[in-house]
Structure 1
């Protein structure tokens, strides 16, 4: 069963009965706020996530992600949650500091 754990949200665990879903969709369906300024279309980097473990459980990088990486807007341990599909297994992530909402209490 695919699982997302968001470390700096108190190790919030999101289980899904379905694989092959975008990470941001799984997070939002859980009722958790996650920033996305462009409407989940890969046109910005506000939904980026820092991947601590499980990068191999994600779909290959998309064109927008590769372009942002070449521009230096995505590091090697970052992916866009609107472009990344969780294929299987567990994904351990963090919300990037720059993309944190002011109304949410984040943990370290």
Structure 2
């Protein structure tokens, strides 16, 4: 069982019985608007999430994430939703300020 909580979207909760899926797939399947400028190909950082809790439930960094981390575009607690798979358990995340949509009301 997988549970994703998006803290600054009023603690929006996503639950799924399938593990090993990309975080962005689960977000979009639940009709939540999430930035992905490059079409989910790992070519930018617009789909970045800030991991608050549950990082141990994610797979290892991909080559693309390692690349952006080496360039200073991903911090230690940040991952790309288009590259990151959740194995199981709970994940608490935030939308990065620079990737927020203007048409969505975010909470603190």
Q: Please report the TM-score for the alignment, with normalisation by the length of structure 2.
A: 0.99
Q: Which position in structure 2 is the counterpart of 1:57?
A: 57
SS at match of 1:8: coil
Q: Distance in 1 between matches of 2:5 and 2:72?
A: 26
Superposed CA RMSD: 0.4
Mind listing any 5+ residue stretches in structure 2 that lack a counterpart?
A: none
- How much does 1:102 deviate? 0.3
Aligned length: 108
- CA distance in 2: counterparts of 1:20 and 1:14, whole angstroms: 15
4+ residue stretches of structure 1 with deviation over 3 A?
A: none
CA distance in 1, matches of 2:84, 2:51: 11
Matches within 5 A, 1:18-97: 18-97=18-97
Normalising by structure 1, what TM-score? 0.99
Q: Structure 1 stretches of 5 or more lacking a match? A: none
Partner residue, 2:9? 9
